[in-house]
Structure 1
Amino acid sequence: MTRVIDADVVVIGGGPAGVNAAIAAGRNGARTVLIERYGFIGGMSTAALVYPWMTFHTVEGKQVIQGIAQEMIDRLSAMGASPGHLRDTVGFVHTITPYHPEVYKILAIDMLKEAGVKLILHSFVDHVEVEGDRIQSVQLTSKSGRIDVRGKVFVDSTGDADVAYLAGAPCLQGRAGDNKTQPMTMKFRMRGVDLNRVKQYMLEHPEEFYHKTPFDELADLPLSGVLGFYKHWKEADLPINRDQVLFFTGPADDEVLVNTTRVQGLDGTNVEQLTDAEELGRKQVMMVADFMTSSLPGFEKASISQVGAQIGIRETRRIDGRYSLQVADVLEGRRFDDVIARSGYPIDIHDPSGNGVTAAWVKGDGAYDIPYRCLLPKIIDNLLCAGRCISTTHEALATTRLTPSCMATGQAAGTAAGIAVLRGLTPHQIDVKELQQKLIEGHAHLGDAIAFQ
């Protein structure tokens, strides 16, 4: 027998985008359900150890992502679980934001409950019931049998556009021409690292590290991230198609999160290829950890303390929406009348087949707008998307996929869903000016022109 749950807003995917969407919908008075396949919240931020969050700021240091995302940072900081926004000692962006993932798991649930959200864990959406141009329900497979969750508005924050795809909305995958996606990475933590020794080596050998590393400030900054060790990596000659070592420090004083493995050419929406990726990623973890302890200054006594519950996925499906954010929109810092979020993160494409990273920075004031239309799929009228699967090109996805940007689009999607329910409209029928006003009231940053209308 199938159990039936009724709601106003149904959010699928409990990563940062989905959490913020559900909180926003609940705060706007909608009966909200959040569905998550794991037994914990956080998506890639917890299951795949995506750490730290980067970035809330432009390259010049102006904060452009606030709202629920900043509220979470403030509350984590008050709990001793985040130092707040730190200078990025890699030099790729202005700030990064470390956090303790185990505390975030708890805080996220606390904030969901405060907003009146019903949480359903250990449940996987495997069917979407559609009538005409509207979703009627999503059907879950769970430990306690089938569950049919009915709603008025649905938010797909699965990262893989699972709900949009199952509902028949047009989707895209990878780059134009060959559909190849950015590689996956199995991340892992190490303890017992002497970070003072690492910093001293960096100061003595700056040529071995990323050229934008802020060496003139480094002696007085807490070490937050490292990109380089080029000579050591080249000499190791590991069978991993990457050209450097990347890791970030924390949460503990002797701890780092290593982002160096690279699994290419496999499809994160194909279960057999994803299985292969998990196996290969874990083998690469052992290779990289052995290399670091045997070759890198400061890692002589280090050891693996944690490996991701799953491999980290940068790119799979995304919707082909009512507007697709273009790379020129990002790089030119374009403004849109229907802006619902901003971001200052650069284009950051991990090569689908090569060993490098293609990067390009936002011009102008260092931030670009994300239009509301990017959250709206074609065909299905009562569905919104948030996070990694919004409507962009492959190149523009290389910035919108980052967690703070996903948090911002999540808050926008949940707020829009709440307005749609309140007004008896579909998401594409709501007044965008009302949505923007609600977002500003929720402390989101939409740019000075919007804030003072």
Structure 2
Amino acid sequence: MVQHNHRESYDVVVLGGGPAGITAAVSAARNGASTLLVERYGFLGGMSTAALVYPWMTFHSATGEQVIKGAAQEIVDRLQERGGSPGHLRDTIGFTYSLTPYHPEMYKVVAFEMLQESGADVLLHTSAIDVTAEDERIQSVTLYNKSGIQTVQGKFYIDATGDADIASRAGAPWEQGNAQRKVQPMTMKFRMKGVRLDSVKQYILEHRDQFYEKTLFDRLDELPLTSVSGFFELWERANLSIPREGVLFFTGPGADEVLVNVSRVTGLDPTNAADLTKAELEGRKQVLELEQFFRDYIPGFEQASISEVGSQIGVRETRRVIGHYVLNGYDVLDGRRFPDVIARSGYPIDIHNPEGKGITANFIREGGAYDIPYRSIVPQKVTNLLLAGRCISTTHEAQATTRLTPSCMAIGQAAGTAAALAVSLNCGNIDVPIRTLQQRLIGQGAELGLAKESAE
């Protein structure tokens, strides 16, 4: 007999316990919906913890306006209270205005505590393996874990799997990658300890031509060194096999620790298990190659060593569900406003070449921010499902900004609130009253760029 520690039916079922799924489940429960969050790992956090996607970038526009608040900011505040984050710091690379370091182990605990306080149920070590859908509605999801195979029913579902596993199985249309169906590369991230950051900073100041042009060189004496992009000459001299142009790393959370974001695995499909297996093996080989490179070539790393490697390879892009509006690159770069805005972001378009070296970066006009419309989290052909995280309805170009963690947190809060509202009103996803949704989000501290009265 299978033993259950949760109910068999809920108002809202959230699949995926990453940054988007966490805020979605917390928000759904806080808005009165009985809620279940299902996560395949034995911990929460998704790419932020399993793949070491660190730090969070960015809560601000390029001009310094904070455009993401709400549940995402609450997480940062709670981490700060227990010493798990210094809060928002300046990005010393200058690519974004700010970045937000955090301790992943504390994030796992903070997220779980918020879910418990909200009243949401959580089921870890559990994968969704099937979806039953009829008449454009999901009837149930089939789960697998150590207890066996179980079926859970929800009035509404939120796909926060990152890969649109639920939406695609439920019959929602989707697309993947660029015009050639090629996706951004995967990266195996890792930390190194024993780094002398004073030596790193000194080398930067003495060799400015070897670093990213937007680096805040003239402010390094007053700001903590948070990020480094460069060492171009040393990278070229080493002639490694990895298709990158230089080094990228971020400091912390330890005082002598950095997170290295350099490995690159291209030409593989993260939704294909065989390809994903190849990527894991290649990524870990690259990590060992990079550790030796840092020790041999980069000042300050002579005595450094690996302190942690991601539990899985980091995935930037897979399926994108086609919703009632497909957010595009022009919307992003023009800083477009939408009447059904449910989240905002100031992160630029940041596309890692799917086929080799190079990153395409395009910045938002006048250092502003763009709106993410509600219609982009509403899939076509499934009426009781919402999207949260990197699988929302965008083009390949726009996804290169909406995929960033703070954006996903904001989207998750909106999806959870909308799902609870839909349940209470007994309406389909596209019929959720936008003004009421916006009013609730603003009441929860979300930043929509609207005057409070305009959402009432």
Query: Which category of TM-score, normalised to the shorter sequence, fits these structures?
Result: over 0.9
- Opposite residue 174 of structure 1, the aligned amino acid is G
Partners of 1:345 and 1:307 in 2: CA distance: 26
Gaps of 5+ in 1: none
Structure-2 residue corresponding to 1:190 = 192
Query: Counterparts in 2 of 1:213-228, with a 5 A limit?
Result: 213-228=215-230
1:22 to 13, 20, 25: 25
- Opposite residue 252 of structure 1, the aligned amino acid is G
2:236 to 234, 237, 248: 234
- Opposite residue 18 of structure 2, the aligned amino acid is G
- Opposite residue 15 of structure 1, the aligned amino acid is G
Shift of 1:354: 2.6
Structure-1 residue corresponding to 2:213 = 211
Partners of 2:67 and 2:37 in 1: CA distance: 27
Shift of 1:168: 1.1
Structure-2 residue corresponding to 1:148 = 151
Partners of 2:213 and 2:441 in 1: CA distance: 38
Partners of 1:81 and 1:452 in 2: CA distance: 36
1:413 to 406, 412, 415: 415
Partners of 1:20 and 1:227 in 2: CA distance: 31
Partners of 2:297 and 2:39 in 1: CA distance: 40
- Opposite residue 33 of structure 2, the aligned amino acid is A
Gaps of 5+ in 2: none
The answer to whether structure 1 residue 13 and structure 2 residue 16 are counterparts is: yes
Shift of the 380–254 alpha-carbon distance from structure 1 to 2, 3 Å rule, reads same
The answer to whether structure 1 residue 439 and structure 2 residue 438 are counterparts is: no
Q: Deviations over 1:310-358 (max 9, x none)?
A: 0000000110111100100000000000000000000000000130100
Partners of 1:137 and 1:340 in 2: CA distance: 27
Partners of 1:450 and 1:201 in 2: CA distance: 49
Structure-2 residue corresponding to 1:48 = 51
Alignment length, in residue pairs?
452
The answer to whether structure 1 residue 352 and structure 2 residue 354 are counterparts is: yes
Partner SS state of residue 387, structure 1: coil
Partners of 2:128 and 2:358 in 1: CA distance: 36
Structure-2 residue corresponding to 1:268 = 270
Structure-1 residue corresponding to 2:254 = 252
Shift of 1:448: 3.5
Partners of 1:426 and 1:190 in 2: CA distance: 48
Structure-2 residue corresponding to 1:59 = 62
Partners of 2:235 and 2:178 in 1: CA distance: 29
Partners of 1:388 and 1:450 in 2: CA distance: 28
2:302 to 291, 300, 303: 300
Partners of 2:18 and 2:438 in 1: CA distance: 23
Query: Counterparts in 2 of 1:24-423, with a 5 A limit?
Result: 24-176=27-179, 178-364=180-366, 366-423=368-425
Percent identical:
60
Shift of 1:364: 3.8
Partners of 1:405 and 1:209 in 2: CA distance: 28
Shift of 1:449: 4.6
Contact 1:153–1:426 (CA<8 Å) still a contact in 2? no
- Opposite residue 154 of structure 1, the aligned amino acid is Y
TM-score by length of 1: 0.98
Shift of the 199–365 alpha-carbon distance from structure 1 to 2, 3 Å rule, reads closer
Contact 1:233–1:243 (CA<8 Å) still a contact in 2? yes
RMSD over aligned CA atoms reads 1.0
Partner SS state of residue 348, structure 1: strand
Partner SS state of residue 8, structure 1: strand
Contact 1:11–1:22 (CA<8 Å) still a contact in 2? yes
Shift of the 451–215 alpha-carbon distance from structure 1 to 2, 3 Å rule, reads farther
Contact 1:45–1:51 (CA<8 Å) still a contact in 2? yes
TM-score by length of 2: 0.98
